[in-house]
Structure 1
Amino acid sequence: MIVVNPRPRSEGRSAGRFGRLAATLAGALAVLLAPAAALALGAPDTAARQVYLVDLSTGAVLMDKNGETRMAPSSMTKMMTAYLTYEATVQGRTTLDTTVPISQTAWKMGGSRMFVKLGSQVRVEDLLRGLLIDSGNDAAVALAEGLAGSEPAFAALMNAKARELGMADTHFMNASGWPDPNHYTTAHDLAILATHLIRDFPQFYHYESERTFTWNGIRQGNRNPLLYHPVSVDGIKTGHTEIGGYGLTASGERQGRRLVLVVNGLPSAQARNDEPARLLDWAWNSFRLYPLLRQGELIGQAPVWMGAEDSVPVTVARDVAVTMAPMDRGSLRVVTTLSEPLPTPIRRGDVIGQLRVEYDGAVRQRVDLVAGADVPASSGLTALGQRLGWLFH
């Protein structure tokens, strides 16, 4: 095991080839030693009952207030309705130009509406805009019926997708977020869903940031208040019911860092205007992104057992960066663990160990260490000599 922190020291097998691994990591961490003004940190107080705030650049959770507590998602449910519609479009089960008949069930929905006409045929793309801009409950039901035949059948698809995405404490009863005691989620789960919406279907993300939509002669503005605020937000969805309070799932990018924020249980529409903007500003201003290693970057050599070569280059499987407050830099440690010596044959890309990033007393990331080259097994006299050498060693 090698441990590297901003005052580099090594533990375990840090000499020889493996010492170069520690030296390389120490160089990567040196950027964190440059002087920087300390920023006052500590999650701000908020009137929201639930908050979950994550930096998608690194997966760092910047704020978690009751993030695992069950809550009513209200119209933030429509993110899943949109997700399944996007998926059906990409898979060829529907198109943006496919028309959907408007049933009486969809037409008579109360609450926020797109104002579709009973018996009319509406394009999927128009229903998506009505869903995401107008927060139309009628659009949600129409999409559910068009994709699954009925809203209960669509809810079953929503629940299956939630399980697939890792939304461990979510259960949907409908496509719109209409109140139901068995319709619930968590702020953490909604952050997972928002992350997948952004990453899985970037070609459709623009619908969530469009500010107005006109249908049936009625022009409506996007209910997301942060789209009109200079806070760098470009999505995603609001929600409000009496039981859930005022909620918002928001995402935005500033200086290469994309954040996802879920808030719920706010007491008023004005609080929903103010609190998310304040929390996002706090997160962007209080934390910094520190790149450490690039995917495929050589970080050292690891000895191998019975190989045609006596070592294999060690690299990281993906880019490694951390989001942290400057004041936490002194607690940063990068720990690498490898089994030594590594048995052959080894193929390029094989997982041969793990790199662990820690700071402020907690493990923040785990990244696979992988082989940077093929190393076939030795044979003949070479193999015999190696066996004897290891025996005497």
Structure 2
Amino acid sequence: MSVSRFLPLALAFLASAALAQAPVPQPEAPAPAAAPAAPTPEAPVPAQAKAWILMDDISGQVLAGENIDQPLEPASITKVMTSYVVAAEMAAGKITADDKVRISENAWRSGGAGTDGSYSALAINTEVKLDDVLHGLVIQSGNDAAIALAEHVAGSEAAFVDLMNRYAERLGMTGSHFENAHGLSAPGHVMTARDIAVLSRALISQFPEHYALYKIKEFTYNGIQQWNRNGLLWKDASVDGLKTGHTSAAGYCLAASAKRGDQRLISVVLGIDTTSRSEGFKLREEGNLALLNWGFRFFETHSVYEAGTRIADQRLWRGEVENIALGVAEPLRVTVPRGRYAELKPSMDVPKQLLAPIKKGQQIGTVRLSLDGKVVAERPLVALADVAEGGFFSRMNDDFWLWWEGE
């Protein structure tokens, strides 16, 4: 990501009566002319995938994808949601890494060695340190670990699933619904590629210490060496997560993330349909790695406006001051094809007549960035300070001019 600074372009007013007549930042001196950037090639489509997506972690922009909002069975990628809930409950102080997690008969029977899924070799009716169970969940993808953690956090897996769905709703994962903590097939248990990327982005930014578990290649527990199932950890040093998944209904799935320099990308490939285990592993890894390489090669992310930084001044009527500073409450980041940052077209929608009083943080309008006529990023414009009503004569004077302009 580039060093934070204002976009080297002035905010352009829309040709509309709804735009404010306010001064805007002046553009920086133009850079020397450069050769036109080459067209960005189409993204490499993962073979045999039902859905896939590539998202920039910093800006949250979708760089490419197909069927990104189609609900599909996610298999063990479900466990990213499970671990997110555990991390969130730990951050809230409700559980700790040193807690003793009881391995119930339900966890042992429903997710242990007697099932077709992956397991963490947790012995029935034993108590295991939560941190060890969490390692088994993330690294080995243990179904027994998922159930044991669910029961420890919420009392039962059903109650934990309710937490999963509540957290998913909070994150805006509108296309996902959970029926269990492990990801084995169940009616109505679905996620979308977009939601998986959104969840992964939240996990990475909100709980970085927890996310660090995802890059661990090997974990030994109870004398059994367990290997991370994400083969990309051995193929590309920039990859540090996330999660594989497979059932006969879900096909072969993989959510991956990589960081190169200041840029991080998240890729998700779902539903690769093949009866060959080795081919399934190969296709999901190749599909994700090709997307990541394409994204790093052809896109760059910039910090345009920082939170709380003045972008423009808006004329204010009936206030104790004539102008109010506008900015963004959250940083505005944008991802664009390499070499095309200077071609961004900024615009600002604000009301023509803004009346006091105004509260700090109150939304006043919207700032947008467009490329080739398409909006690529936008944020609400908010007031950067409180402004009270002006005195009687000041308000009366403004009322006159408002009436005059209205005529």
Aligned partner of 1:356 in structure 2 is 368
* 1:383 Cα deviation from its structure 2 partner: 3.0
Does residue 303 of structure 1 match 2:304?
Answer: no
Is this contact kept in 2: 1:233–1:252, CA < 8 A? yes
Call closer, same or farther: CA 1:173–1:346 in 2, change over 3 Å.
Answer: closer
Other structure's SS at 2:42 match: coil
Does residue 85 of structure 1 match 2:86?
Answer: yes
Give % identity.
Answer: 36
- Whole-Å separation in 1 of the counterparts to 2:268 and 2:213: 19
Call closer, same or farther: CA 1:11–1:88 in 2, change over 3 Å.
Answer: closer
Is the deviation greater in 382-391 or in 332-341? 382-391
Is the deviation greater in 317-326 or in 119-128? 317-326
Is the deviation greater in 249-258 or in 234-243? 249-258
Per-residue CA deviations over 1:307-362 (Å, capped at 9, x if unaligned) read 22222222233332321114765863222011123101223333221112222443
RMSD: 2.7
* 1:153 Cα deviation from its structure 2 partner: 2.8
- Whole-Å separation in 2 of the counterparts to 1:213 and 1:182: 33
Does residue 106 of structure 1 match 2:107?
Answer: yes
Other structure's SS at 2:271 match: strand
1:131-210 counterparts in 2 under 5 A?
A: 131-210=137-216
Other structure's SS at 1:279 match: helix
Is this contact kept in 2: 1:134–1:221, CA < 8 A? yes
Query: Which structure has the higher relative contact order (CA within 8 Å, separation 6+)?
Result: 2
Does residue 126 of structure 1 match 2:132?
Answer: yes
TM-score, normalising length from structure 1? 0.89
What stretches of structure 2 of length at least 5 have no aligned partner? Answer: 1-6, 275-279
Per-residue CA deviations over 1:142-192 (Å, capped at 9, x if unaligned) read 112222233233223222322232221222221111122332211111112
Task: Judging by fraction of residues, say which structure has more helix.
Answer: 1
- Whole-Å separation in 2 of the counterparts to 1:104 and 1:386: 75
* 1:280 Cα deviation from its structure 2 partner: 0.2
Call closer, same or farther: CA 1:141–1:7 in 2, change over 3 Å.
Answer: closer
Letter in 1 for 2:124: L
- Whole-Å separation in 1 of the counterparts to 2:90 and 2:11: 52
TM-score, normalising length from structure 2? 0.86
Does residue 116 of structure 1 match 2:114?
Answer: no
Other structure's SS at 1:321 match: strand
Does residue 20 of structure 1 match 2:20?
Answer: no
Letter in 2 for 1:365: A
Call closer, same or farther: CA 1:12–1:307 in 2, change over 3 Å.
Answer: farther
Aligned partner of 2:390 in structure 1 is 378
Does residue 94 of structure 1 match 2:100?
Answer: no
Letter in 2 for 1:38: A
- Whole-Å separation in 2 of the counterparts to 1:256 and 1:88: 29
Correspondence for 1:325 among 332, 337, 342: 337
Other structure's SS at 2:98 match: coil
**What is the count of residue pairs matched by the alignment?**
385
Other structure's SS at 2:189 match: coil
Letter in 2 for 1:69: Q
* 1:263 Cα deviation from its structure 2 partner: 0.9
- Whole-Å separation in 1 of the counterparts to 2:88 and 2:44: 37
